[in-house]
Amino acid sequence: MKAGPAAMTKKKETSNATPTPIPRRRKWYKWSAWCISGLLLIHMAFPLGVRLWQTASLPSDAPRIAFTPNDTWLRILHVNEAYQVSFALAQGKLVEIQPNDTGASHERIKAWLEKNLIDGVLLTGGGDVDPRLYGSDPEKAAQVNRIRDDFELALIKVAMEKKLPVLGICRGCQLLNVARGGTLQDLRAKKELKNLHFNMTGHQAELTKDSRLAKIMATDRLASVQSFHYQAVQDLGRDLRVSARGPGDVIEAIEDTSDSWIVAVQWHPELSLNDPHQNTLLEAFVKAAKDRPKD
C-alpha cells in the first residue's frame, strides 16, 4: 500500500531536518583533552628523545662525565635534560650517578667511576647545602637533602684523589667550597641581594684577571649570567681563590689554586646555549676531561 502525500511530505521534512549541533562546551572539552594528552606525551617522550639524540650525535671517544642530577621539583621541567643537551653540544657524554648507586662510600664511588670509565665530574644545581656542614643555622635553608650532600662530598673527594676535572654549577659551586672547609651566606637575609641573584633577567659578573676562568672565557666581564641562587660562598675553602664576583660583591665563581682543573660558577652556563662565553667554559671542561692522564 503506497503512502499518501501527507506521509511522504512528513518523511521528506524528517530527512531534511538540521542535525542537533554539538554544544560548544563539549567541543571545547574535547580539544582541551587532546591538547593535554599531547603535551603529556611530549613531556614523557622528551627525555628519551634527548638521550637518543645524544647517542647519535656524540663520537665514540667522547669523554664520559659523571653528573649528579638536580633532585628538586625543577626536574619535572627537564632541567637535567638541559645539562644533557648543552654538554652533548660541547662533545661530552653525561653519565648519571645517584646517591643510592654508591651511597657516601669512597670505595664504592671509586669503583663506580672506574667501571663507568669516568673522565670528569659535574656537580649540578639543586636545593640548599645543609648549613650544619659549615656550622650555620639549619633553619636558614630550603630543600635540603643531606643524603645528597654527603654523597657529593664523598664524590668530590674521590674525584680529587683521582685528579679528575671538576666543574661545579650553582649548588655545585657552594658544595665545592664547603668540601674544602669554607662557609656559605644566605642571600635571603638581604632582600636586595636576593632579588639580584635570583631572577629571570640575570646579572653581570666581573672575572678576576689572570684567573683560569678569565683565560678560558677570554674576557674580564660578562654582561649577563643566568642566576638562580639563594646561597653563595662566604669564607673561601682551602686552596681556592675567587675567579668572579657579581652584584653586591657576592662571589660568583671559584677555582683551585693549583694546576688541577677545578672550576665552579654560581650561574647556569647550560641555560645559555647562545652565549659563546658560556659554551667556551663547557667546551674547556670537556676538553680537560678528554685530555686527562689515564690511570
Counting beta carbons within 10 angstroms of the beta carbon of residue 80, is it exposed (0 to 12), middle (13 to 18) or buried (19 or more)?
buried
Backbone angles phi, psi at 104, to 5 degrees: -95, 20
Place of cell 684577571: 209
| Residue type present at position 104 | A
CA 130/CA 126 separation, integer angstroms: 12
Nearest to 230 by CA among 142, 101, 110: 142
Q: How far is CA 18 from CA 12, 14, 21, 27, 285, in A?
A: 12, 9, 8, 18, 70
Return the active site residues. Answer: 170, 268, 270
113 neighbors 162 (Cβ within 8 angstroms): yes
- Which triple of cell numbers denotes residue 166? 671538576
